[in-house]
Chains A and B, each alone.
Chain A
Amino acid sequence: MPKKRVIIIGGGNAALSAAIESAERGNEVVLVEAAPEKFRGGNSKYTRDIRYAHKEDEFTSGSYGVDELKNDLLSVTGTLENPEVAKMVLEKSEFVAGWMNAHGIIFKKEIKGTLNLSRTNAFFMGGGKVLVDTYYNLLKKLNVRVLYESPLTSIKFRNLHIENITIQKENGEEVLQADEYIFASGGYESNKEWLGQFWQEGVKNIKVRGTRYNMGKPLKLLMDNGAILCGEEKAGHMVAVDSRSPEYEAGIVSRIDAIPWGITVNIHGKRFYDEGEDIWPKRYAMWGRLIADIDEQKAYVVIDRKAIGKFMPTVYKPFSAETIDDLEKILGLPVNSLKGTVDNYNKGINKESSDLFMWSSSGSRIPKSHWAMPIDEPPFFAYPLSPGLTFTYQGVKINKTGRLMMIDGEVDNGFAAGEIASGNILKKGYLAGFGLVIGNVLGRVAGGWEND
Chain B
Amino acid sequence: MTEYSGVNEAIRQLSICNACRYCEGYCYVWDAIEMKFIIEPGYVEHLANLCHDCRDCYYACPYNEPDHAFKLNIPKTLGNVRMETYENFIRPKILKKVLQKEGIITLLTIIIIFIASLLYISSRFGIYNFYKIPVTSVFPVYLFKGVSYFIYLYVAVLWIFEGVAYWNEINDGKHMNSMGIFKAIYDAINHKNFWGGGTGCKIPSENNKYERPVAHMMVFFGFIIALISVLFYPGIISGYAGYAYFIGSILLFAGSIGMIHIHMVDTKGLRSEKQSAIDYPFTVLLFFVGFTGILIPISVKTYIFNWNFLIHDVFILTLFILAPFSKFIHPLFRFLSLIKYRIDTGSS
Which residues of A are interface residues toward B (Cβ below 8 A)? 38-39, 45-46, 48, 106, 108-109, 111-114, 125-130, 133, 246, 249-254, 308-309, 312-315
User: Number of A-B pairs whose CB atoms are under 8 Å?
Assistant: 81
Given contacts A112-B31, A133-B59, contact A253 B25 (CB under 8 A): no
Q: CA–CA, A251 to B62, complex, Å?
A: 8
B187 to chain A, nearest CB (A): 17
Task: Decide if B19 touches A126 in the complex (CB within 8 Å).
Answer: no
Given contacts A48-B22, A111-B24, contact A128 B62 (CB under 8 A): yes
Q: 10 new A-B pairs (CB below 8 Å) besides A114-B24, A126-B199, A313-B19?
A: A112-B31, A125-B199, A126-B22, A127-B62, A251-B63, A252-B20, A253-B63, A253-B70, A254-B19, A315-B15
Is B67 on the interface with A (CB-CB < 8 A)? yes
Is B18 on the interface with A (CB-CB < 8 A)? yes
Given contacts A111-B24, A253-B19, contact A313 B199 (CB under 8 A): no
Is B16 on the interface with A (CB-CB < 8 A)? yes
**Most B-side CB within 10 Å, residue of A48, A108, A315:** A315
Is B89 on the interface with A (CB-CB < 8 A)? no
Q: CA–CA, A129 to B61, complex, Å?
A: 7
Is B332 on the interface with A (CB-CB < 8 A)? no
Chain A contact residues, majority secondary structure: loop
Within 8 Å by CB of B22, from A252, A254, A313, A314, lies A252
**B residues 24-73 touching A (CB-CB < 8 Å):** 24-26, 31, 34, 36-38, 56-57, 59-63, 67-70
4 closest A-B pairs by CB: A126-B60, A127-B22, A253-B19, A313-B18
Provide a sorted-by-A list of 20 A–B residue pairs whose CB atoms are within 8 angstroms.
A106-B198, A111-B24, A112-B34, A125-B26, A126-B56, A126-B57, A126-B199, A127-B20, A127-B60, A127-B62, A128-B62, A246-B70, A251-B20, A252-B20, A252-B22, A308-B37, A312-B19, A312-B21, A313-B19, A315-B15
Within 8 Å by CB of B60, from A112, A114, A130, lies A130
Task: Decide if B16 touches A315 in the complex (CB within 8 Å).
Answer: yes
Task: Decide if B25 touches A125 in the complex (CB within 8 Å).
Answer: yes
Q: CA–CA, A111 to B197, complex, Å?
A: 13
Within 8 Å by CB of A313, from B37, B68, B70, lies B37
Q: CA–CA, A249 to B16, complex, Å?
A: 13
Is B23 on the interface with A (CB-CB < 8 A)? yes
* Chain B residues whose CB sits within 8 angstroms of the CB of A251 once the complex forms: 20, 62-63
Q: CA–CA, A309 to B18, complex, Å?
A: 12
B151 to chain A, nearest CB (A): 44
Contact with A along B65-89 (1 / 0, CB 8 A): 0011110000000000000000000
* Chain A residues whose CB sits within 8 angstroms of the CB of B67 once the complex forms: 38-39
Within 8 Å by CB of A109, from B16, B23, B25, B68, lies B25
A48 to chain B, nearest CB (A): 5
* Chain A residues whose CB sits within 8 angstroms of the CB of B22 once the complex forms: 48, 126-128, 252
A110 nearest in chain B by CB position: B25
B54 to chain A, nearest CB (A): 12
Task: Decide if B197 touches A125 in the complex (CB within 8 Å).
Answer: yes
* Chain B residues whose CB sits within 8 angstroms of the CB of A126 once the complex forms: 22-23, 26, 56-57, 59-60, 199
B198 nearest in chain A by CB position: A106
* Chain B residues whose CB sits within 8 angstroms of the CB of A249 once the complex forms: 62, 68-69
Q: CA–CA, A339 to B136, complex, Å?
A: 87
Task: Decide if A315 touches B19 in the complex (CB within 8 Å).
Answer: yes
Task: Decide if B59 touches A108 in the complex (CB within 8 Å).
Answer: no
B34 nearest in chain A by CB position: A113
* Chain B residues whose CB sits within 8 angstroms of the CB of A314 once the complex forms: 15, 19
**Most B-side CB within 10 Å, residue of A39, A114, A126, A251:** A126
B23 nearest in chain A by CB position: A126
Q: CA–CA, A106 to B23, complex, Å?
A: 12
A204 to chain B, nearest CB (A): 18
* Chain B residues whose CB sits within 8 angstroms of the CB of A254 once the complex forms: 19
**Most A-side CB within 10 Å, residue of B21, B31, B60, B61:** B21
Task: Decide if B25 touches A114 in the complex (CB within 8 Å).
Answer: no
Given contacts A38-B67, A313-B38, contact A129 B60 (CB under 8 A): yes
A113 nearest in chain B by CB position: B34
* Chain A residues whose CB sits within 8 angstroms of the CB of B19 once the complex forms: 252-254, 312-315
Task: Decide if B62 touches A309 in the complex (CB within 8 Å).
Answer: no
Q: CA–CA, A314 to B20, complex, Å?
A: 9
A74 to chain B, nearest CB (A): 29
* Chain B residues whose CB sits within 8 angstroms of the CB of A106 once the complex forms: 198-199
Q: CA–CA, A127 to B197, complex, Å?
A: 14
Q: CA–CA, A273 to B68, complex, Å?
A: 34
Given contacts A129-B62, A315-B16, contact A309 B26 (CB under 8 A): no
A312 to chain B, nearest CB (A): 6
B64 to chain A, nearest CB (A): 9
B26 to chain A, nearest CB (A): 7
Q: CA–CA, A414 to B153, complex, Å?
A: 76
**Most B-side CB within 10 Å, residue of A45, A125, A128, A246:** A125
Q: CA–CA, A314 to B38, complex, Å?
A: 9
A49 nearest in chain B by CB position: B22
A180 to chain B, nearest CB (A): 31
* Chain A residues whose CB sits within 8 angstroms of the CB of B68 once the complex forms: 249
Q: CA–CA, A253 to B16, complex, Å?
A: 7
Q: CA–CA, A253 to B61, complex, Å?
A: 12
Task: Decide if A45 touches B15 in the complex (CB within 8 Å).
Answer: no
Given contacts A112-B34, A315-B19, contact A46 B62 (CB under 8 A): yes
Task: Decide if B59 touches A129 in the complex (CB within 8 Å).
Answer: yes
Task: Decide if A45 touches B25 in the complex (CB within 8 Å).
Answer: no
Contact with A along B248-290 (1 / 0, CB 8 A): 0000000000000000000000000000000000000000000
B63 to chain A, nearest CB (A): 7
A247 to chain B, nearest CB (A): 9
* Chain A residues whose CB sits within 8 angstroms of the CB of B59 once the complex forms: 126, 129-130, 133
B168 to chain A, nearest CB (A): 26
Task: Decide if B26 touches A253 in the complex (CB within 8 Å).
Answer: no
B150 to chain A, nearest CB (A): 47
* Chain A residues whose CB sits within 8 angstroms of the CB of B25 once the complex forms: 108-109, 125
A4 to chain B, nearest CB (A): 32
* Chain A residues whose CB sits within 8 angstroms of the CB of B24 once the complex forms: 108, 111-112, 114
B308 to chain A, nearest CB (A): 47
* Chain A residues whose CB sits within 8 angstroms of the CB of B57 once the complex forms: 126
* Chain B residues whose CB sits within 8 angstroms of the CB of A129 once the complex forms: 59-62
A316 nearest in chain B by CB position: B15
A17 to chain B, nearest CB (A): 19
* Chain A residues whose CB sits within 8 angstroms of the CB of B34 once the complex forms: 112-114
B172 to chain A, nearest CB (A): 16
* Chain B residues whose CB sits within 8 angstroms of the CB of A112 once the complex forms: 24, 31, 34
